Amino acid sequence: MNMSHLAYISLGGNIGNTLEIFQNALLAIEKKLGKIIQKSSIYQTAAWGKEDQNDFLNQVILIETSFDAKKLLDSLLTIELLFERKRIERWGPRTLDLDLLSFDNQIENSESLVLPHPRIQERKFILVPLAELNPNWVHPMLRKSVSELLDNCADQLKVKRIS
């Protein structure tokens, strides 16, 4: 019997038709990884970290999967490649970025996997859609709800709901 796990995943992108890419990425996720239980609205935000590029679109989803965390992460990276994701520069432009934010509230810090995602609390473009899905989600290391993290987030970028 396969164990069922819950994982929050963020989608981001700023190259190409991002809305269409997200739509197709969600289909690929559901086909290959598991059932999408919830999905946030799509938000537009100025680029974070490297600002001289187009605005990003972002979304957070909750999926139910039988994969373990490492296999899920590897599969997300494979899906990125289907959408021609190129890792040229850190925080640079991309067609699709899939980040594993949280997996069953597991805590892990290995070379191949860090859970929860190490920068959730620094990024409003993650916190806003995550709060839309589950304002009571608690960061397993910081022991703060996503609402508290959002209240204390230093990120000043405007996160605008577009759909």
pLDDT at residue 91 in the model: 65
Instruction: Give the C-alpha separation, 143 to 132, whole Å.
Output: 19
Beta strands in 14-132 (DSSP E): 34-39, 43-45, 56-65, 97-103, 108-109, 114-115
Q: For the chain, which domains are there?
A: 5-161 (3.30.70.560)
3-state SS class at 110: coil
Instruction: Give the C-alpha separation, 69 to 80, whole Å.
Output: 17
Instruction: Give the C-alpha separation, 94 to 91, whole Å.
Output: 9
pTM, two decimals, is: 0.94
Q: Are strands 56-65 and 43-45 parallel, antiparallel or unpaired?
A: antiparallel
Closest CA to 76 of 20, 146, 11: 11
Is 90 in the active site? no
Is 97 in the active site? yes
Which residues of the chain carry a pLDDT beneath 50? 1
Q: Which of 52, 55, 94, 155 is catalytic?
A: 94
pLDDT at residue 88 in the model: 67
Is 55 in the active site? no
Close Cβ partners of 102 (under 8 Å, ≥ 6 residues apart)? 7, 8, 115, 116, 117, 120, 137, 140
For residue 149, the number of C-alpha atoms closer than 13 Å in the C-beta half-sphere is: 26
pLDDT at residue 56 in the model: 95
Q: Which of 99, 104, 119, 161 is catalytic?
A: 99
Q: Which of 85, 119, 143, 151 is catalytic?
A: 85
Is 151 in the active site? no
Instruction: Give the C-alpha separation, 56 to 94, whole Å.
Output: 9
DSSP element (H, E) containing 9 = strand 5-13
